[in-house]
Amino acid sequence: MLRILKSKAPNSCFRLTSAAFQSQRRLYADQPPPAEGFLPGVADSKLLKRTPEEALRNPELAALSAANGETEKMNFFQAINNALSTALATDETSVVFGEDVSFGGVFRATSGLAERFGRDRVFNTPITEQGIVGFGIGMAAVGHTAIAEIQFADYIFPAFDQIVNEAAKYRYRSGGIFNVGGLTIRTPCSAVGHGGHYHSQTPEAFFAHCPGVKVVMPRSPIQAKGLLLASIRDRNPVIFLEPKILYRAAVEEVPVSDYELPLGKAEVLKRGNNVTVVGYGTQIYKLENAIQMAERNIPGLSCELIDLRTIVPLDIDTVCESVNKTGRLVIAHEAPKTGGFAAEITSAVMERSFLRLEAPIQRVCGWDTPFPLAFEKFYMPDMIRCYDAIKKVTEY
C-alpha cells in the first residue's frame, strides 16, 4: 500500500501522512503534565482531614488541641517544607542540603528555607548522590542533624554503599561509641504517570533488608509533617520516602504546632471484620477506592484498612491483630512483586497467624519488569487489581 501511494499518488501520500501526523498530535495535551503527576480520587478521599476539627480529632494529635488548636491548609510538599522549617528553627545543629535545595528543589519542598535560615544551613551540593550521603554521614558523626535530599529515589542507588555499609553500620561497628543517628535522607519516590524507568521507582525493599536504618513513607500532609519531624529527631539513620504524586494532590488542614507521629506504629484507618487490607504511601488511596467498590458489590463485606506508615520497623502486631479477626489479608505496593516488602509481611503473618487464615494471602504489586513508560497503566496495582484481590480472598 505504501509503495502504491509513493509511486502513483505522491501528493495523496503526503496528505495522508500529514493527516496521520496531525491526528497523532491530537493525542497529546497542549501542556505537559505537572512534574508531580495526577492522582484521581485523592481529592475526594475520606482519609484526608479537611477541617481543623477532623485534623485534631486524631488521638495521636489530641494533645495539640488544648495547647494550640491552630491549623493551616497545606498540600504534601508544603507540609514537608513546614517540617523542615520547624526542624531548622528548633535545632541549631540542623542543616538541609542536596541538589538544588537552596532555591526550593525540583518540587519546591525547600522553598524559602535558605532565605530564612541562611545559605550556610540550607545549601546546594554537586550532582553526586554518593557524595551527598557521605557528607551527611560525616556531619552526623560529629554531632549535626543532617537532612539530605536525593532528588529522585531512582538515583539513590549510587549512594547505596554509603547507606548500607557506612550509615547503617556506624554505631554497630564502633560498639556504640559513635553513631550517625542524626542523618535523615529525604527522597521523592513512586509513579507520577509519565516518569518512565528513572523517575518512578519505589525502592523501600532494598533498604528494608538492611539492619541499622529505618524506612518511612507517609500518605498525607499531616502524616508527612509528623513523621518527618520524628525521623529527623530519631537517633537512627532514616530513609524518608515521599510519594511525589501526592505533593500537590493531597491537601489537609495541618496543625501549625511542632508535633511528631510515632515511628514503627501502623495506623488503622478503617475498621472492618472480613478482610484486612494493608498498604502505605500512595497505595492507600487506591486501596480505599477498592474497598468502597468491594463493599458496594459484595453484600455484607466489611474491610479493615491499615497504613503501615513505617516500613522499618514493621508494626506486625497491628497487622496480625487484624488478621486474627478477619482471617483474610490483601497487601499492595507499587514496587515489583518478587522480593517486595509484601513478601516480608506475608511471611511474618504466616508465622504468627497461620491457623487463623481463611484464604491464601494476596499480594497486589508492580510487575517484575523495569518500570514502563507507555505501559504504566498496566504496571500499576490500581483500584481494579486491588478489588479483584479482595474479591478473591472473600470468595475462596
User: What residues are labeled active site?
Assistant: 129, 199
How far is it, in rounded angstroms, from Cα 242 to Cα 233? Answer: 18
How far is it, in rounded angstroms, from Cα 320 to Cα 354? Answer: 10
How far is it, in rounded angstroms, from Cα 244 to Cα 378? Answer: 20
Angle at 291 between CA 288 and CA 294, to 5 degrees: 155
How far is it, in rounded angstroms, from Cα 80 to Cα 68? Answer: 20
Helix axes 221-233, 76-90, angle to 10 degrees: 30
How far is it, in rounded angstroms, from Cα 40 to Cα 249? Answer: 9
Closest listed residue to residue 237, CA positions, set 188, 168, 310: 168
**Phi/psi at 217 (nearest 5 deg)?**
-145, 110
Which DSSP string corresponds to 38-95? --TTSTT-TTS--SHHHHHTSGGGHHHHHH---EEEEEHHHHHHHHHHHHHHH-TTEE
Q: Mention every residue, 6+ apart, whose C-beta is less than 8 A from residue 12.
A: 5
Strand order in the sheet with 303-307: 267-270, 303-307, 275-279, 329-336, 362-366
How far is it, in rounded angstroms, from Cα 393 to Cα 391? Answer: 6
